[in-house]
Amino acid sequence: MQILIWTVVLVAVCYSISLSLLYFRQRDFIFPIPQTTRTSPEAAGFAQAEEHRLTTADGETIIVWHVPAKLSRPVIIYFHGNGDFLAAQVGRFQKLTADGNGLIAVSYRGYAGSSGLPSEQGLLQDAAAAYAFAKARYDAGQIVPWDFSLGTGVATALAAENAIQKLVLEAPYSSMVDVAAFHFSYVPVRWLLRDQFRSDLRVVRIGAPLLIMHGDRDRTIPVRFGERLFDLALEPKQFVRFPEGGHDDLASYGAIETGLKFIRSGGG
């Protein structure tokens, strides 16, 4: 009996230590910043982009890359994934702007030359600064947030509060709580998670046409979370499923072409 008691105590202590580590290091999991140093557009091979430094409402300085839209073409506000940085996305940016679309690509606080440390509230302030930058140059009817993974939660929050033309969500989640509960099923994440990114509560306030793209083989954000978000969203909306697609490879299955076709289409 004493051995059993000590075993239970040991398990309880180990579990408590694990919970403590997850709680205090949770932002290391959500925001695994791959690069903190600045890379200019020219050095990254994207000389057509202008680099700007924006000041957020709480005083941080974030970097955005801006490619001006031609004539009345849309401007895409791009919010990247948690393990991305702007210089690594140049190939994608070139495809997005090839037919005259504008681009405003955001380097979140703490990422690749931007000051501060990332958090949900912080990233939403970064998004607000990027939207203000866009609105100073374009009509709201030209603005199209296009976002990947972590960035879809940022874009959904932005679109729920501001006028946009359309919204493109690539590998989105219903909430960060759902994703964390999937990966850490033994942890009461709904009580512990500080950055919950509740897209499920925000998407119901978006009236702009919506495109969701997701891969059936996504093991990072399972497709059911994208489906849940889609079910909650208002019309007009489209869901494009890539049967062979995982999480980071949707571009290989036509995601960029699908998104651009959606943007060019007259309706939702």
Enzyme catalytic residues: 149, 218, 247
| Torsional sign, CA 171, 260, 80, 143 | negative
Non-local CB neighbours of 22 within 8 Å, separated by 6+ positions: 29, 184, 187, 192
Closest CA to 191 of 29, 9, 19, 13: 19
